[in-house]
Amino acid sequence: MIKLKKIKLGKTDENIPILGQGTWGIKSFRNKDYYEKWKESIRKGIELGITHIDTAEMYGRGTSELIVGQVISEYNRDDLFITTKLFPMHTRYNTMKKAAYNSLKRLGIKQIDLYLIHWPSPLISIKKQMRVLEDLVNEGKVRYIGVSNFSVEQFKEAQTYLKNTELVNNQLPASITRQKHIEQSLPFYQNEGIIMTAYSPLGHNGYHNLQGDLREKLEIVAKSHNATIQQIAIAWLINHENVITIPKASKIEHMIANAEAANIRLSDKEITLLYEDGRITENLKLISA
């Protein structure tokens, strides 16, 4: 049985799996078999201990939330941690609140565990976005709040507008082939005790077409751990302190492989080998083997 390591969510008392389930790939207007395969995969993830499920109102125009809601209705709500996101097309206070209520309805739950602003928007101030998030916490509709795709400076600004709660998470594009936020943003979140969620950890095609020096290095490390290069790419991310990741898996075999990757411990030397410049950023903290 795979036992997933858990990590504390920011400065809260909440512990969540170091690996979550991404559902970005769930599309709208597909047939019953398509959705049943996704449901089977999500169920398998829950059985493996991947009880953090990430979705968003944008994914499949709400379809992702509906499918996630149908699956999680089969389980004890207290055993699951659900993240969803507010799409920044909503520019008014009331429409943002309504969007959150609609997400709750699609998910079939009374409270969202972690609610994120999906992107900063040029049409609405960060101050207003934070007011909405904090009011949702005060109403009991949301437990914890965070952001997605915010720069460090935007994150800092957002924190200043909160009176009675704090941001616990920033969800950013980070992977073995997109190392910018690991090198430039993660040191800040580690120092502040905030979780960074790496999304799209395997790119959009699972690195099946990856070539060159990085591929060769991944294969060397993978061989020493009897793993695939995809598993090493996932492990590389979560062997950094304060990082979780949310790979999508529409097939059961991929979900199992992801869960196995969560328990791979890389050495400092292996982690450093896979950096683009072959060296680790100063003050970046690793989880050593």
CA dist list (Å): 171 to 20, 39, 166: 12, 24, 15
12 token code pair = 């809260």
Per the residue annotation, which of 35, 59, 207, 275 is the catalytic one? 59
Task: Give the whole-angstrom CA distance, residue 34 versus residue 26.
Answer: 9
Q: Is residue 171 very low, low, confident or very high in pLDDT (cuts 50, 70, 90)?
A: very high
Domain membership flag for residue 55 = yes
For residue 147, being part of any structural domain is answered with yes
Domain assignment of residue 75, yes or no:
yes
219 lies in some domain = no
Residue 280's pLDDT is 81
Task: Quote the tokens at residue 64.
Answer: 């992702």
Look at residue 1 in the predicted model and tell me its pLDDT. Answer: 55
Contact 185, 172 (CB under 8 A): yes
- Count structural domains, the chain: 1
pLDDT per residue as tens digits for the range 172-212: 999 999 999 999 999 999 999 999 999 999 988 899 999 99
CB 231 within 8 A of CB 224: no
Q: What is the pLDDT of residues 207-264, one digit of tens each?
A: 999 999 999 999 999 999 999 999 999 999 999 999 999 999 999 999 999 999 999 9
Q: What is the C-alpha to C-alpha distance for residues 175 and 199, in angstroms, rounded to an integer?
A: 8
Range of the domain at 144: 10-203+242-250
pLDDT grade, residue 289 (50/70/90)? Answer: low
Could you give phi then psi for residue 27, rounded to 5 degrees? -105, 165
CATH number, position 132: 3.20.20.100
Tokens 């509709």, residue located: 141
Average pLDDT, the chain: 95
Helix (H) or strand (E) holding 80, with range, is none
Edge-to-edge order in the sheet of strand 52-54: 21-22, 52-54, 81-86, 112-117, 142-148, 167-173, 195-199, 243-245
Predicted confidence band of residue 288 (pLDDT cuts 50, 70, 90): low
The answer as to whether 140 is a domain residue is yes
Which distant-in-sequence residues (6+ apart) come within 8 Å of 153 by Cβ? none
For residue 272, give the H/E element and its range: helix 268-273
Phi, psi (degrees; rounded to nearest 5) at 46: -60, -45
Asked whether residue 197 is domain-assigned, the answer is yes
Answer yes or no: 59 catalytic. Answer: yes
Which pLDDT tens digit goes with each residue over 99-157? 999 999 999 999 999 999 999 999 999 999 999 999 999 999 999 999 999 999 999 99
Tell me, yes or no, whether 41 lies in a domain: yes
Q: 195-199 and 112-117: which strand pairing? A: unpaired
Which among 42, 14, 86, 73 has a CA at the least distance from the CA of 246? 42
8-state DSSP, 61 = G
* Inside any domain, residue 265: no
What DSSP letter does each residue of 195-252 carry, written as one string? EEEEE-TTTTTTTTT--SHHHHHHHHHHHHTT--HHHHHHHHHHTBTTEEE--B-SSH
Q: Please tell me the distance from the alpha carbon of residue 75 to that of residue 82, in angstroms, as a whole number.
A: 13
Other Cβ atoms within 10 Å of 211 Cβ, number: 8
